Amino acid sequence: MNANLPLIAAFINFIVICFADSLSPEMQMYWENHMVQPYFDNTTKREVTAIAGQTCQLHCRVKSLGDRAVSWIRKRDLHILTVGILTYTNDQRFQSLHTDGSDEWTLRITSPQARDSGVYECQVSTEPKISQAFRVNVVVSKANILGNAELFVKSGSDINLTCVALQSPQPPSFIYWYKGGRVINYSQRGGISVLTEQQTRTSRLLIARASPSDSGNYTCAPSNSDSASVVVHVIKGEHPAAMQHGINGASMTRSSAYQTVVAIVSACVQLCLLATHALAAEVSASPVARPVR
């Protein structure tokens, strides 16, 4: 039935236009408000992926609305969010936007959260009511710096960090790198370069000839994702075990020490067993003393 409404409404509108000159203004308004049935413009985007914390909008277009009202309803609990441009919920993150003379009614969700994911209906107060469903998927986008949470680098070597933000539905407009709480300043020293590829959502930070002063907390902050951090330690001298990346290096050091202790204990046990067997053999080979009669 709803599929035929645009065709029926267009036909009735055609009749009204043909006889517009012969109808009084009151009659024209009556036709528009009571005889012409509203219908939805199906060219609008019906499925929206939003990033948690960033405003998203649902656009509903209704043709030949007349004096009917447009409401936004949350499907999961049938809660009426807005009627016209009025908000009917205590959650002020939901707001209806409309410009006079426009056929578009927009539901704006400020700072959406994962719990806001679901179906929302744009409903028109006809008899019977007609509605159009919109699906919202709120994702939590978090950046990730490849590797471990700690990085050990030998003084004089390069610091090479790669940050990805694959969960974001849209490429970030920018990706900033911070050391501590400050944006990395390329003019502070030479040898710093950043290569950002928006389409692949990837950014690489290269610091050549690292010195101990380059040690610190490095943060990757895309425009549309939560940030990610890594702690870099630039150390002097030869520290083979510490040159492993992050926790793995510490784990390998502890593992090697544990294996060494086990090997020593095992060797001691074997030596004790050998000594015990040798003593037992010596005792059994000794002549037994007999009492003198």
pLDDT tens column, 39-74: 999 999 999 999 898 899 999 999 999 999 999 999
Is residue 270 included in any domain, yes or no?
no
Q: What is the pLDDT of residues 120-160, one digit of tens each?
A: 999 999 999 999 999 999 998 889 999 999 999 999 999 99
Question: Is the separation of the CB atoms in 143 and 163 below 8 Å?
Answer: yes
Please report the pLDDT score of residue 126 as a whole number: 93
**Stretch among 107-121, 246-260, 265-279 having the lowest mean pLDDT:** 246-260
Domain boundary among 184, 217, 235: 235
Distance CA 82, CA 89 (A): 7
Question: Is the separation of the CB atoms in 84 and 96 below 8 Å?
Answer: yes
The CATH number linked to 80 is: 2.60.40.10
Q: What is the pLDDT of residues 211-222, one digit of tens each?
A: 999 999 999 999
Is residue 87 included in any domain, yes or no?
yes
- Count: domains in the chain: 2
Distance CA 109, CA 92 (A): 9
**Stretch among 2-6, 32-36, 252-256 having the lowest mean pLDDT:** 252-256
Q: 132 is in which domain, residue-wise?
A: 39-139
Same domain (yes/no): 105, 149: no
